[in-house]
């Protein structure tokens, strides 16, 4: 598929490529965001508004989480969150295998 080919220098890879490589784009200058679970009311506004080319937010039922490798830090979700519980995550940790499996299953990644 065309979007799976290498991208021109300086452009971020497609979301599907980021999921395959489980890595964040080095082109993105902003740090990713994280959701504070103790403050989140699970309204899913952020899930619905995260741009599809990023698709970084997942409602897992018990919580709503951002996969930092998929999050550009744009930050649309911050603007729509009614309780202001999405924070900069400069010290983000790599996403674990269980969550990547969830991403692949729910996002067709």
Residue whose CB is less far from ligand SF4, 23 or 44: 44
Residues 6+ away with beta carbon under 8 Å from 45? 77, 80, 81, 82
- The dihedral through the CA atoms of 40, 74, 2, 95 has a sign that is negative
The least CB distance from residue 97 to ligand SF4, in Å, is 21
Taking CB under 6 A as the criterion, which residues in 2-21 touch ligand SF4? Answer: none
22 Rama sector, left if φ>0, alpha if ψ -120 to 50, beta otherwise: left
If one asks whether residue 71 binds ligand SF4 (CB under 6 A), the answer comes out as yes
Instruction: Name the residues that contact ligand SF4, by CB under 6 A.
Output: 33, 35, 40-46, 50, 54, 56-57, 64, 66, 71-77, 80-81, 83, 85-86
């Amino acid at each position: 598929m065309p979007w799976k080919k290498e991208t021109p220098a300086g452009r971020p890879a497609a979301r599907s490529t980021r999921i395959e490589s489980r890595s964040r784009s080095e082109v993105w200058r902003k740090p990713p965001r994280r959701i504070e679970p103790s403050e989140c009311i699970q309204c899913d506004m952020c899930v619905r508004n995260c741009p599809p080319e990023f698709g970084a937010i997942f409602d897992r039922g018990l919580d709503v989480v951002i996969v930092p490798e998929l999050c550009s830090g744009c930050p649309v979700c911050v603007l729509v969150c009614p309780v202001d519980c999405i924070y900069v995550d400069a010290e983000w940790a790599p996403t674990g295998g269980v969550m990547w499996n969830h991403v692949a299953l729910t996002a067709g990644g």
